[in-house]
A and B are shown apart, each in its own frame.
Chain A
Amino acid sequence: MSDTKKLVEIKHLQQYFPAGGRGKNRRFVQAVDDVSFFINKGETLGLVGESGCGKTTVGRTLLRLYEPTDGKIIYDGETIFDKEEKIAVNMLPYRRKMQMVFQDPYASLDPRMTIGDIVGEPIDIHNLASSKQERRGRIISLLEKVGLNSEHANRYPHEFSGGQRQRVGIARALAVDPEFIVCDEPVSALDVSIQAQVVNMFEDLQSDLGLTYLFIAHDLSVVKHISNRIGVMYLGKLVELADSRELISHSMHPYTKSLISAIPEADPKAARASHRITLQGDVPSPLNPPSGCRFRTRCPYATEKCAQESPSLKEVSAGHWAACHLL
């Protein structure tokens, strides 16, 4: 992949949140631990995992909405954060290039602002319009881009359905002409029939505007549909990363395998025939993750070694990375 350019790269990213205690007893939620990946220009990288696995934290830390506790973030060849070298650049110019769409379209729009002002706020912050007229023109063209119209600009969020609100959230992210968007579960709060509309819109915008996405979701079928490559996370660690079709058809990590088999298929005959690998137990707490491989407490193949050593991400076949001692 030498001809494609890496747009975003994170190296050994770590994010610990303090969770009380003093001195020696200080405890941390180990939300993200030693995660490295890169995203090529124009590509969609999907990130899946169960709740609490740190996928949202990765997305937010990558935008430096949280200050990482360790690691390195490189955007378009420039280091924007490096703990070791003590680099932490001013993010304002980068906010024009990196944007985010949030999960909950009900909570992420200010109920007291009109749609026009919500979409216009980034334009104001970055001084992108020289006159009121230009600002309005921009807002309307943004609303039209996401399938709304100029009439909607004067209304308030409560007048819209979930799908329409998510469109407003997307228009707001697009207001600064970004190159890279972190989509944090953008469709999981929507009804199935609306989900497909929004997923299609993400794809259209990507091909029209040449966007790069980090698409975070827990629904593997949606992620598989939209992504070029998929990363699977478990309890703060990246356990597998591969081309999306490869990941579904030739998953290597036992967690990915069970995740895929746990998805109920919308096909009664396949559901009757399929043999599910049901994982026992619950996800351990990230406050006190198991030693060695974090998946070992639920893994049917766990051995002695798994408890002692944490497996590192290895390239199993070309472009297919997995972190498991068995491979």
Chain B
Amino acid sequence: MSEKLLEIKDERLSFFTPAGEVKALNGVTLSMDEGEVLGIVGESGSGKSVTAYSVMGLTAYPGRLIGGTIRFNGHQIDTMTEKEFRKIRGNEVSIIFQDPMTSLNPVYSIGNQIEESILLHTDKTKAEAKERSKELLELVGINEPEKRLKQYPHELSGGMRQRVMIAIALACEPKLLIADEPTTALDVTIQAQILELMQELRKKLGMSIIMITHDLGVVASMCEKIAVMYAGHIVEYGTADEIFYSPKHEYTKGLIKSIPKLNAEEKERLVPIEGQPVDLLNPPAGCPFAPRCASCMKICLREMPPKTELSDTHYSHCWLLQKEEFEKGGAEE
């Protein structure tokens, strides 16, 4: 395999707020091949958005990268200046945000906003840009594109606006599309439409997608690889099947157990993860999940567990796995 599309190594990023240093990312290592769909799941504040945003250089003040390297499509992201970022944003990597209501500018027409990104990143003329916008709207399944180009965001429904956002993001055929909770603000039936559209577009255009979400259902239906994040760490990484059918980290297990199943025959009590999410201002020493973990050991409170490789594609950070491996090793000897 040649070079990866995206390679993040030991990324550390903090937000320097008046209240103190918020350690948003504490050593994130991640890589992605071309054409892959990666899902990042986690609770609010787990660092899933920050990880993806840092690829685009969108973690400005008071956020600062304090360690690690990011390589994307041959660029060294971590040392890039704002000027260089502008060349890749929208061109090689683009983003769709969670809330289609607030991420479009209410005083510009839809056409204006799509053309803007085309004119900025290519040498197309205005007429060509207009033509391209029409194509894009057709591509994302909006009918009567001619009419829609002249409309303003408030005239469109939430689902439509999200389609427009996708059209803008795809304007320059990026290699990587970051989707930050693209369907959280939408209704289920509209969510199904948008997810279907994204899958279709991916097949058609062959781009990679990073899907950031807290909805395990969405990642299960969309993603090949899944990274589970907790308090700025990737606690488990694997293929969709590995994460859902043989989760190894206690947090992943808890997460899967805590969602109600639609098809459950008998009524089972939910198994919640006890406790409250971590305070990133004073994260606990050792494993960040330890205070909420049911099988917490002494060492968990002292040291961050190292990586345990479970298969070529599956790894997790948990002392329990280290212990198991040690015992297995002992038995073999």
A residues sitting closer than 8 Å to B (CB atoms) are 50-51, 161, 163-164, 191-197, 199-200, 203, 218, 220-222, 224-225, 245, 248, 258-269, 271-272, 276, 278-280, 282-283
4 nearest A-B pairs in the assembled complex, by CB-CB distance: A264-B217, A196-B272, A225-B260, A196-B258
With contacts A222-B260, A264-B195, A282-B157 taken as known, whether A192 is within 8 angstroms of B269 at the C-beta atoms is no
- Number of B interface residues at 8 Å Cβ cutoff, please give it: 45
B266 to chain A, nearest CB (A): 10
With contacts A51-B187, A191-B44, A263-B188 taken as known, whether A268 is within 8 angstroms of B220 at the C-beta atoms is yes
A60 to chain B, nearest CB (A): 20
Closest to B241 in A: A268
CA distance A97 to B192 in the complex (A): 40
Closest to A223 in B: B260
B20 to chain A, nearest CB (A): 16
Tell me if B240 counts as interface (CB < 8 A to partner A).
Answer: yes
Interface residues of B in 171-216 (CB under 8 A from A): 187-193, 195-196, 214-216
CA distance A195 to B44 in the complex (A): 13
**Which chain A residues lie closer than 8 Å to B271 at the CB level?**
196
B184 to chain A, nearest CB (A): 10
Our pick among B159, B215, B218, B245 for the contact of A282 (Cβ within 8 Å) is B159
Tell me if B160 counts as interface (CB < 8 A to partner A).
Answer: yes
Q: Could you list some 23 contacts between A and B, CB below 8 A?
A: A50-B190, A192-B43, A192-B255, A193-B43, A195-B272, A196-B259, A196-B272, A197-B272, A199-B260, A200-B272, A218-B187, A220-B188, A220-B262, A221-B261, A221-B262, A262-B188, A265-B217, A266-B220, A268-B240, A268-B244, A269-B241, A271-B220, A278-B196
CA distance A53 to B322 in the complex (A): 51
* Contacts between chains A and B (CB distance < 8 A), count: 127
B231-267 interface mask toward A, CB cutoff 8 Å, 1 = contact, 0 = none?
Answer: 0000000001100110000000011101111111101
Q: Is the CB of A195 within 8 A of B258?
A: yes
CA distance A128 to B44 in the complex (A): 39
CA distance A248 to B221 in the complex (A): 20
CA distance A105 to B280 in the complex (A): 21
Tell me if B274 counts as interface (CB < 8 A to partner A).
Answer: yes
CA distance A17 to B271 in the complex (A): 42
CA distance A253 to B41 in the complex (A): 34
**Which chain A residues lie closer than 8 Å to B277 at the CB level?**
161, 191, 193-194
Q: Is the CB of B189 within 8 A of A262?
A: yes
A27 to chain B, nearest CB (A): 18
B residues sitting closer than 8 Å to A (CB atoms) are 43-44, 157, 159-160, 187-193, 195-196, 214-218, 220-221, 240-241, 244-245, 254-256, 258-265, 267, 269-274, 276-277
**Which chain B residues lie closer than 8 Å to A283 at the CB level?**
157, 187
CA distance A34 to B310 in the complex (A): 58
**Which chain B residues lie closer than 8 Å to A203 at the CB level?**
269
Q: Is the CB of B220 within 8 A of A279?
A: no
CA distance A271 to B43 in the complex (A): 22
Our pick among A265, A271, A278 for the contact of B262 (Cβ within 8 Å) is A265
Q: Is the CB of B240 within 8 A of A200?
A: no
**Which chain A residues lie closer than 8 Å to B188 at the CB level?**
50, 218, 220, 259, 262-263
**Which chain A residues lie closer than 8 Å to B244 at the CB level?**
266-268
Q: Is the CB of A163 within 8 A of B276?
A: yes
**Which chain A residues lie closer than 8 Å to B216 at the CB level?**
192, 266
Closest to B269 in A: A200
CA distance A283 to B217 in the complex (A): 23
With contacts A161-B277, A193-B255 taken as known, whether A265 is within 8 angstroms of B270 at the C-beta atoms is no
A113 to chain B, nearest CB (A): 22
Extra 8 A-B pairs, beta carbons < 8 Å, given A50-B189, A264-B220:
A163-B276, A191-B214, A192-B214, A193-B254, A195-B258, A196-B258, A197-B274, A282-B159
Closest to B156 in A: A282
Closest to B261 in A: A221
Q: Is the CB of B221 within 8 A of A268?
A: yes
Q: Is the CB of B221 within 8 A of A271?
A: yes
CA distance A130 to B218 in the complex (A): 53
Q: Is the CB of A191 within 8 A of B43?
A: yes
Q: Is the CB of A264 within 8 A of B218?
A: yes
A22 to chain B, nearest CB (A): 24
